Amino acid sequence: MIRLATVFSGIGSIEQALRRLGLEHRIVFACDNGERELKVELDIDKFREHIFSLPTKVEKKKAVDLLYSKYNRQTHFVKETYCANYEIDENDYHLDVRFLDGSDYLHEVDLLVGGSPCQSFSTVGFKRGLDDTRGTLFYEFARIVNETRPKVFIFENVRGLTTHDHGDTWRKMQEVFTQDLGYRISEPQVLNASNYGIPQTRRRLFVIGIRGDINANNFEYPTSVPLKYTMQDFLEDNCAFGDFSFDNMDGSPVIVPSKGSPDKKFYLTDKVRDYVLSSGTKNFKTSTKTDLPIARTILKTMTQHHRAGVDNYITVSEVPKVLRSLTDREALRLMGYPDDFKIVVSSRQIFRQAGNSIVVDVMMAIVNSILKTNALD
């Protein structure tokens, strides 16, 4: 059984990947604040010290939950989606990575997955190791790695990470992963969803780390596979709700061609249609292509009706010209989530959650490559 933990957990791409692959696993903990910011000035280090001084993880969690109940009462939509789709003990879903004491889970985690915003660090001599990254969310990811000591971690980030801040950001991260944490890491590699079975152009960078004391084969990134489907195959027009699933043998998508009826709330008004089909202004031009075979990157801002050059629109009819946006279900499909994934929040929230997710099929390919190293045995 794979003991899984995630930070910046979102709606569970790695959880869904393990499920689709049929791999027995247990969620040890998850952590995501759902982009809800605390509306109070706080001395992070001082509050963390207070939290970590509490005797049990349950008391620590209660203290953090109380903080959020006082200073951010917004609904935690990400948690609602996550808990509707995965089994996790309430005491093991954490609201803020900054106040998560990973030492409570020492040696309980086999696989840790997460990412963090790309931030530059103090690079004065790179002498202080992990401390040089304090104040960034990368520091929190690295700290959790250090405190839980997983066998393997998967770190995901934007494709420009290695060139950010003239390469200093990645050099610092690399030093932390190898010298401070003691992990053998793969060279960062950008993987595109369209190379792993999903018709979407979505490029993200991945780094895999294997704990240095584990006797394992070297990790090799998965090779690409031919793309069998187009975006049109994923649409509810051509595959009705309930007919998008996965193969129980290898986890690959299974699409049953069938006539469906997308909700008309996703149809564009004439005014919005004319806007998104506009090529732009004198000083700014954009593509007006619609009905693409490979979707543009799914964005969390899909509900804002971007021009066709930065979003995905589908033609409902030519005369009169009627367009629609992707449905919430189609957005999830294009991120690798089958139709049995429960939608328990609004379409607006699902679009945000899909746009923030990692493509499940890319995660599946990475997991299969990790298994070949024997590091999780």
Per-residue pLDDT, 308: 87
Per-residue pLDDT, 309: 85
Counting residues of the chain whose pLDDT is more than 70, the rounded percentage is 97
The Cα–Cα gap between 345 and 80 comes to 7
Structure tokens given for 91: 């005491």
What average pLDDT score do residues 177-198 get? 97
> What pTM was estimated for this model as a whole?
0.94
pLDDT(176) > 90 = yes
For the segment 234-245, what is each residue's pLDDT rounded down to a tens digit? 999 999 999 999
Name the pLDDT band for 207 (thresholds 50, 70, 90). Answer: very high
pLDDT(331) > 90 = yes
pLDDT(116) > 90 = no
Per-residue pLDDT, 128: 58
Nearest to 58 by CA among 98, 15, 101: 101
| Range with the poorest average pLDDT among 184-193, 251-260, 269-278 | 269-278
| Contact indicator for 151, 375 with CB cutoff of 8 Å | yes
| Contact indicator for 199, 244 with CB cutoff of 8 Å | no
Contact residues for 343 (Cβ-Cβ < 8 A; gap 6+): 81, 328, 329, 332, 350
pLDDT(127) > 60 = no
- Cα angle at 240 between 301 and 192, to 5 degrees? 45
Nearest to 101 by CA among 154, 70, 140: 140
DSSP per residue over 210-256, as a string?
EETTS--PPP-PPPP------HHHHSTTTS-TT-EEE-TTT--EEE-
The Cα–Cα gap between 158 and 188 comes to 11
| Range with the poorest average pLDDT among 132-146, 172-186, 187-201 | 132-146
| Contact indicator for 358, 204 with CB cutoff of 8 Å | yes
Per-residue pLDDT, 122: 56
pLDDT(135) > 80 = no
Neighbours of 201 (CB within 10 A): 14
Q: 63 or 121, which is more confident?
A: 63
What average pLDDT score do residues 13-22 get? 98
The Cα–Cα gap between 118 and 96 comes to 18
Per-residue pLDDT, 119: 73
Positions annotated as catalytic residues are: 118
Nearest to 147 by CA among 185, 94, 108: 108
Per-residue pLDDT, 121: 65
pLDDT(262) > 70 = yes
Q: 278 or 80, which is more confident?
A: 80
Average pLDDT, the chain: 93
| Contact indicator for 192, 203 with CB cutoff of 8 Å | yes
User: What is the SS3 string spanning 69-81?
Assistant: HHHCCCCCHHHHH
Neighbours of 108 (CB within 10 A): 15
| Range with the poorest average pLDDT among 11-15, 101-105, 118-122 | 118-122
**Per DSSP, what are the bridge partners of residue 203?**
192
C-alpha distances out from residue 315 to 76, 200, 277, 325, Å: 34, 18, 12, 9
For the segment 43-61, what is each residue's pLDDT rounded down to a tens digit? 999 999 999 999 999 999 9
What average pLDDT score do residues 315-327 get? 95
310-315: Cβ within 8 A, 24+ apart? 310/286, 311/276, 312/231, 313/268, 313/276, 314/235, 314/237, 314/290, 315/290, 315/291
